[in-house]
Amino acid sequence: MKKSALSDIFGGLIVLAIGLSFFLAANNVISWDKWWAYLLVFLGLVFIIEAVIRNKSFKDRLIGGRFIAGIILLSIGFSFVLSLKNWWPLILIAVGLLIIIKGILSHKEETKSDTP
């Protein structure tokens, strides 16, 4: 599958997620004051699925921008859906620390491979 085809598919999934969250709220499946939190959960799932599929298709790193964005959106959305409103900043802090640790470890690997 070409990269542009994947972009079209995931663009459609994002529009579908927006429509689904509005549909669920309009039909009283979820409340209107939390529809945006469900939208964040849906968008987070789309970003994570996209990162996994692109990883298999293009042999990219899985822990990249889309995957991290998906985890952040999913975490914030679930924290509001599950009424853990005070926890989402801690989740962001944890994700930030993981990104920093990953950067440090990859920098060490690069410097080891550069030395003869």
Q: Which residue, chain included where needed, has tokens 């689904």?
A: 20
Residue pLDDT, tens place only, 19-51: 999 999 999 988 888 888 889 999 999 988 888
Helix, coil or strand: residue 67? helix
Whether 76 and 91 have beta carbons less than 8 Å apart is answered as yes
pLDDT of residue 83: 79
User: What CA–CA distances, in Å, run from 18 to 8, 29, 59, 87, 95?
Assistant: 16, 15, 29, 25, 25
Could you read off the pLDDT of 66-80 as tens digits, one per residue? Answer: 888 888 888 888 888
- Check residue 58 and give its pLDDT: 58
Q: What is the pLDDT of residues 50-68, one digit of tens each?
A: 888 877 755 555 567 788 8
- Average pLDDT in the chain: 80
Residue 92's pLDDT is: 78
* Joined tokens for residue 110: 């690069």
DSSP string for 1-66: --HHHHHHHHHHHHHHHHHHHHHHHHTTSS-GGGHHHHHHHHHHHHHHHHHHHHHHHH---SSSHH
pTM value surpassing 0.85: no
What is the domain extent for residue 106?
Answer: 3-114
pLDDT at residue number 71: 84
| Number of domains composing the chain | 1
